[in-house]
Amino acid sequence: FFFQAEDGIRDSSVTGVQTCALPIFLLSVFRGPSSSEFQAQLEEPWYEPMDRLMVKHGGRIAAHVRMYHREIHFGSLQLPVSGLAELATSPLYRNRGLASALVAAAEHRMAEYGAELGIVRTTAPGLFARRGWVVWGRHCYSVARTRDLLAEWSVMEAACPPADSPHRGDSRPMPRSTRIWRHVERGALMRLYAANTSSSFGPLLRSDDYWRWLVSRRGYGNIYVAIEGRDKLDLDETPIIGYAVTKEGRIVEMMTDPQRPYAVAQLLKRVCGDAIERDQDLVRLDAPPTDPLHRVFVAAGGKYRNREMDGEQVMMAKLFDPVAFLKKLEPLLLERIKEAGVESSVELGLSLPDKRIRMLVSRRNVRLEAGKLGRSYLTCSLAHLTQMLLGQLDVGVAVDEGHVEASTRNARELATILFPKLPFWRPPWDELPA
């Protein structure tokens, strides 16, 4: 799908010459993607040529953006999302609004595709903020020296919740080991990933086809598996209790059996040992802020980072229809009301710049009434509403700082129950280039 920027922006067609010119254009702007990564993008299970939008002037590519389509876990919900990547404008055509035109066209296409949410990692947050995108998510990781981590071995094991190790039946503990994974063990990785992400906020849903593509594109260095018991060739009997994905001294994903927490230390020891053999002085762990391993890295003299911007990159999102999304949140809202012990029906109004909505929440359903507010309501911008619905906003802090106005104390307390700040986090493995 192309735009041609001459007298205006209008549709044009694609030719083989233009397709061949695209990798050259991207390399000139980004110094990437590599030829293997570009090929992997074309082989991605849901990729369609129409997912690339370009602005073209004459025979020259002036700007480009790529869309990709996924589903993410959002607590007990599964949300269709579309992402943007490789938004680029040739230096010859900058400051002409081409990037904004591409983002606008992409938003339209993503909504047509059925996505409820747009996501992007960008170094130009101002461009997206002007179009109603908001910051969503934080970069969370720890870095420490490999030898210092190994010296903290006792601390590493203490950071894992206590658990009795299974025995052979003769009082001797089961043997444990780690090794490089085998491709036939993909099913074990899939089960561990599902067990760790099914009720979380942010990780992608990965189908069997997606897993095949993810491991075949080689956007990683090694995948280690932790084994408890005798390592057998029979896959059905090999007890894989955890895995860790690494790339250039970075642990980009680690998932373990919830009943086998000691697999974490098992995998980390192997990763650190191999890093030392390769003369890598530092190890980086990308993990949710609640992961106890961050404390191990800090205890080993390392540093912990949890911030919105990292290396000038920010994660942002846009809800294409916030009111429809609010209705979709009904199962989560009912769960939160029940957990808070609210017995009677409650109501909360939302006063937005262009509309008013009253929510009537009982223990059985959520009903929305347009054009009404009621006595207890919040007044906020569309951007703050988006962050609130996505769990990015601490409502109490936003009220204290004046970003959100609450008509009553009850409105503030109820909004805090219905829209708590969520531990959004997504493993970076899915976005690492080949």
pLDDT in tens, 386-428: 999 999 999 999 999 999 999 999 999 999 999 999 989 999 9
**pLDDT tens-digit readout, 77-97:** 999 999 999 999 999 999 999
Residue 349's nearest CA partner among 300, 407, 395 is 407
Q: In what order do the strands lie in the sheet with 222-228?
A: 176-180, 222-228, 240-247, 250-256, 282-286, 139-145, 303-307
pTM of this prediction? 0.88
Q: Which two tokens stand for residue 168?
A: 């052979």
The answer to whether residues 242 and 107 touch, using CB atoms and an 8 Å cutoff, is no
Give the tens place of pLDDT for each residue, 238-287: 689 999 999 999 999 999 999 988 899 889 999 999 999 999 999 999 99
> Quick check: helix, strand or coil at residue 288?
coil
